A = this chain, B = another copy of it.
């Protein structure tokens, strides 16, 4: 299994969530975050106003998926999150060695 983490523009959360649901992922975890990329946050526009601070508000998503779905899930998130303007986000994949669904005690891919 893999853990896909994406840091995206907050107003894109709903579009990304719907695209992931349409693809068929079983769940996701969302946290509020902030950050900067290559422009150090200086030239990003957030909610219409140019930000002068360094840390721009972002949303951080985590999606646990089967190995076979990685490439497609990356494509789904990237496409839905893209505006073409700077600050669109970053997505990364880390290995998930074990997963448990707490209510049922299921483990492995069945737990997703």
Contact of B92 with A98 in the complex, beta carbons under 8 Å: yes
From 1 to 53 in chain A, residues with beta carbon under 8 angstroms from any chain B beta carbon are 1-3, 6-8, 17, 21, 26-38, 40
A34 partner residues in chain B, CB cutoff 8 A: 29-31
Q: Number of A residues contacting the other chain (C-beta, 8 Å)?
A: 56
Q: Given B36, B58, B95, which contacts A97 in the complex, CB threshold below 8 Å? A: B95
* Complex copy number for this chain: 3
Question: Of B36, B78, B102, which one neighbours A91 at CB under 8 angstroms?
Answer: B102
Evaluate contact between A31 and B60: CB separation under 8 angstroms: yes
Q: Are B78 and A90 in contact (CB under 8 A)?
A: no
Which residues of chain B are within 8 angstroms of A35 by Cβ–Cβ distance? Answer: 27-30
CA distance A6 to B62 in the complex (A): 12
A41 CB to closest chain B CB (Å) equals 9
Contacts A27-B36, A92-B99 known; 14 new A-B pairs at CB < 8 A? A26-B38, A27-B35, A29-B33, A64-B90, A78-B102, A83-B103, A84-B103, A86-B103, A90-B102, A90-B111, A92-B98, A94-B94, A94-B95, A94-B97
